[in-house]
Structure 1
């Protein structure tokens, strides 16, 4: 291993092909990385223009490993980029943008100069046409990147018009390399027009057209500023280049560098590990990548999983759920990469005969996870279950649901067990039983499914005889009692309670009623207000203030928060209903809502504890049908 610092010019000037291994992540630098890079470059350019540049600026490390040293006679040397590919790619994108601005201003010599840092002079035994490029990115970025190298701005924009929104490239583009090129080109033009700026480029001016004057003085000034930017990048910025020897293990070094500090996603490390082993097996790694991994590189997978904790990208949660489903074990999100290595190569012996089988496993689970997250809709049972778990913000059950997606599990089993899982969660909430143990319950169920198979019988056996408050599956009697007597309004967050009431709404409809979809913006409303007033007197004793300590007030407070006193209304109606009398509320219910839950109040003259209990009993009768007991299906 050899380590030394080098100016960017010395890194890029010699004919050498840098190859980014296909198992590394795509280019990802966005504004939070591009802006500091640009600020460093323009600051050094300002020093060059002022003749005050005394110190060089370090831009980080570049770790490279030689490829087939013995066979590179009369060929362009090839090195793998073990680490620093994002940084190296950014330098190349910036140079391309500089060249484009030079082309607009017809600085021909400048263009030729820049091309020397983008392209190799190929040798007699070079057979790969990509050898002429200094940098070969991952397959996902390769076509776009090389088009940026070969085409002018107009041709690139024409070919990649689909990446624009109006006249700009949005921040959430799936091709950050294109946005980087777009922004660099704009910022360089601004620099040529206005000179150095201490402020970051203003976002609101992103679409501005920038032109440099046509007279000779303006052209000379633009040329000086462009040369200063090139000088800043090539001569005033440095990289610490670490060149590995033939006996250095690039894989170990890569994993060590990316396991601490600001790490790659766990799935990035997994990908690196998988394809590193694939190369050792002599597999057709590029074919495997395109066929079985490329779908997982979609930007959707890197978005934060919306209902999962901790906040991590979907791809990491998917991996954790896959491992839990496949092993039945408890998976640590903090040690996810180590968990995967232990799974794939237990005790140093590969679990799979070849890497393709390993990738096929991920290919099997990916659509199941996508369905649970609402991205796919082929499996209606898992799609429905995923939507319910989104309302309840409960994703710890995903491994069990993914086990139910196994090829040998029938649709009937999947339908019945997912319904029972939903019932289990809702029943425990309505019975005021703790939800803090659900992750352990579902992990234990995943273990049982792994050992005995994902069947209805296995599901029932798991809960039989478990009567403790932290795990039991409440029966019908306990559910009825909970609905009548427990504080349903304490069920939080509110989307859970809205889901319960909406299911009761659907069950309240007659067979001949229309079945509209759930409207947006529903609120939970107390019919008898939480803070009742003189409008809500007691039958004989007049008015007691809430929380007054009188037995009547205590009983009313309990009734007010029970399920029988809760209903659904729109947000606007909620504001107008407030603490009004029952007569006024009943009129609003009749006038402004078509929900069957609220038809219950039509024709009634009173609303107090007795009426609330009556409705609670009615809703309990619906609930035992909506959310079945363990032995009811």
Structure 2
């Protein structure tokens, strides 16, 4: 291992290919990292313009390893970028943006001067057309970055029209980081050429201003930017020897600082082993791993705890589904290494087999998250689990979806899982142990040779403590009549989900199958502020306090709650029952037809309606021992 410092000019000018290993993540720098880099460059450019250059600025470290193909006469050397690829890619994007601005302003010496830092002059023995590029990014970024480096901005827009608005302006969100960085640099550089330091980067994209029209001064500023980067920015370059393990060094370096996703480290480990074992790593990457490079997988998983990207949660669910064991998100990379090499032995003969096992659950996850499979039983389960923020059931859903069960049996299993979650919530039982319950079910499925409805029913029938038991029908009935569910579930979609299921169950056999409206409100029939129009019916000489307490207890139970559209909810307000009854009767929801025959609305009516809804609930959310569960689904 050798460490020396070099100016950027010395790093980039020699003929060699910087190869970003396939196991490293895509380009990730956003304005958070780009802005400090830009201000460092501008500070040195200003010093150059004023003739007051003092010190060279250190930009960080670049760790390089031998490319693996040794030294061959007449062939451009390959250098593996172990760490620092984000910084190195930023240099390339900055130079491409500077070249574009210089071209527009007719500063041709800069255009020609930048070329040797972006391109190699291929040698006689080079047979790879990509040798001409100094940098070979990861496959997911390669086409875009090479297009940016090789083509003018107009051709980038032609090649990637989806990254631009119809008026031709570049999009600022929903685009790859490399594209956003290139556009940001072009705007900043052009702004600096026109205004100098005081305005560089201070205006919003798209602002119009006249700026400085002194073309000579603009050219000098562009030259200063190029000089600042190439001659006044330094890197500590650490060159590894043949005996140094690049993967171990990479993991060590990234164990602190800006954290990598667990799946970044997993990917690094997988493709490093693929290269070591002589498998076609890039082919495997494109064919099997490519789906995980979509922005969807980097988004924070909604409703899942802790707040981590979907990719990390997906990996955790996969490991639990395949092993039947709990997986720690905080130690996810270590969990995966232990899975892939249990007790130091290789679980899979080939890395390809490992990737197939890992990625085959991706379509199931997409469906559970609502991104695919609309109309299927699995999609229905995913939307229900999202309403209740219970993603810990995903590993069991993975197992069921991949088991090849009949549609009826799979649907019955999904219904029972949903029923378990809802019954426990309505009965006021803790949700803290749900992850352990679903992990235990998954382990049982593996022991039984695969998931089945019978296995799931047996799992729920096992003797368990009160923290995980499946509530009985009688317990559910009591809870429906007595628990203040409005107070418990008012936030989120849980109470709406309960009421909507009751709405569907309230429809007659010939009723129109009305789809769930996008906007629903929960209405108290007897309002929370009842004092003005809903006096207590207290007999003369009887104490008022017990009746008030009874009303306050019942007012938030399901018997007093219904669903309305937002407009109807606003119009109902705290008015008298006679006014509410007419408006509720005009509603299209079957849940509201119940009130039409009522002459008054009081505590007894609430209790009566609660009892009726409770009987429907027993069927909607069945117990595992219910007769004919498999057929009903």
Q: Same fold (TM over 0.5)?
A: yes
Residue 564 of structure 1: which of 551, 554, 559 is its match? 559
Q: Distance in 2 between matches of 1:66 and 1:207?
A: 47
Equivalence for 2:258 = 262
State which drifts further: 267-276 or 99-108. 99-108
2:132 is the counterpart of 1:132: yes
State which drifts further: 359-368 or 431-440. 431-440
2:521 is the counterpart of 1:523: yes
Equivalence for 1:181 = 182
Equivalence for 2:430 = 434
Q: What secondary structure sits across from 1:5 in the alignment?
A: strand
Q: Distance in 1 between matches of 2:540 and 2:381?
A: 48
Q: Distance in 2 between matches of 1:373 and 1:20?
A: 32
Q: Distance in 1 between matches of 2:428 and 2:283?
A: 53
Q: Distance in 1 between matches of 2:56 and 2:541?
A: 81
| Alignment map for 1:74-473 (pairs within 5 Å) | 74-166=74-166, 167-197=168-198, 200-203=201-204, 205-206=205-206, 208=208, 213=213, 218-377=214-373, 380-452=376-448, 453-466=450-463, 468-473=465-470
Q: Distance in 1 between matches of 2:456 and 2:57?
A: 62
Indicate how the Cα distance of structure 1 residues 490 and 448 shifts in structure 2: closer, same or farther if over 3 A, else same.
Answer: farther
Equivalence for 1:44 = 44
Q: Distance in 1 between matches of 2:503 and 2:375?
A: 25
TM-score by length of 1: 0.95
Q: Distance in 1 between matches of 2:563 and 2:220?
A: 69
- CA deviation after TM superposition for structure 1 residue 549, in Å: 8.3
- CA deviation after TM superposition for structure 1 residue 582, in Å: 1.4
2:618 is the counterpart of 1:624: yes
Q: What secondary structure sits across from 2:322 in the alignment?
A: helix
- CA deviation after TM superposition for structure 1 residue 467, in Å: 5.7
Q: Distance in 2 between matches of 1:518 and 1:542?
A: 47
2:548 is the counterpart of 1:553: yes
Indicate how the Cα distance of structure 1 residues 270 and 210 shifts in structure 2: closer, same or farther if over 3 A, else same.
Answer: farther
Deviations 1:394-422, CA, capped at 9 Å, x for gaps: 11111111111123433222111110011
- CA deviation after TM superposition for structure 1 residue 578, in Å: 3.0
2:476 is the counterpart of 1:479: yes
Judge conservation of contact 1:463–1:472 (CA < 8 Å) in 2.
yes
State which drifts further: 427-436 or 233-242. 427-436
Deviations 1:299-322, CA, capped at 9 Å, x for gaps: 111111111111111111100000
Residue 600 of structure 1: which of 589, 594, 605 is its match? 594
Deviations 1:125-145, CA, capped at 9 Å, x for gaps: 222221121111111111222
State which drifts further: 562-571 or 351-360. 562-571
Indicate how the Cα distance of structure 1 residues 523 and 542 shifts in structure 2: closer, same or farther if over 3 A, else same.
Answer: farther
Equivalence for 1:5 = 5
State which drifts further: 497-506 or 609-618. 609-618
Indicate how the Cα distance of structure 1 residues 54 and 141 shifts in structure 2: closer, same or farther if over 3 A, else same.
Answer: same
Q: Distance in 1 between matches of 2:417 and 2:339?
A: 27
- CA deviation after TM superposition for structure 1 residue 159, in Å: 2.0
Gaps (5+ residues) in structure 1? none
Judge conservation of contact 1:186–1:210 (CA < 8 Å) in 2.
no
Deviations 1:107-137, CA, capped at 9 Å, x for gaps: 2222221111111223232222211211111
Judge conservation of contact 2:413–2:456 (CA < 8 Å) in 1.
yes
Q: Distance in 2 between matches of 1:70 and 1:430?
A: 67
Q: For this pair of structures, how many residues does the alignment match?
A: 624
Judge conservation of contact 2:119–2:134 (CA < 8 Å) in 1.
yes
Deviations 1:246-278, CA, capped at 9 Å, x for gaps: 111000001111222222111111111111111
Equivalence for 2:537 = 539
CA RMSD of aligned residues (A): 2.0
Q: Distance in 2 between matches of 1:416 and 1:69?
A: 56
Q: What secondary structure sits across from 1:6 in the alignment?
A: strand
Q: Distance in 1 between matches of 2:251 and 2:406?
A: 41
Indicate how the Cα distance of structure 1 residues 469 and 105 shifts in structure 2: closer, same or farther if over 3 A, else same.
Answer: same
Indicate how the Cα distance of structure 1 residues 528 and 277 shifts in structure 2: closer, same or farther if over 3 A, else same.
Answer: same
Q: Distance in 2 between matches of 1:363 and 1:484?
A: 46
- CA deviation after TM superposition for structure 1 residue 585, in Å: 1.8
Equivalence for 1:498 = 496
Deviations 1:133-181, CA, capped at 9 Å, x for gaps: 1111111111222222222222222222221123332233342212221
Q: Distance in 1 between matches of 2:147 and 2:540?
A: 82
Q: Distance in 1 between matches of 2:195 and 2:541?
A: 75
Q: Distance in 2 between matches of 1:385 and 1:22?
A: 36
Judge conservation of contact 2:481–2:610 (CA < 8 Å) in 1.
yes
Q: What secondary structure sits across from 1:317 in the alignment?
A: helix
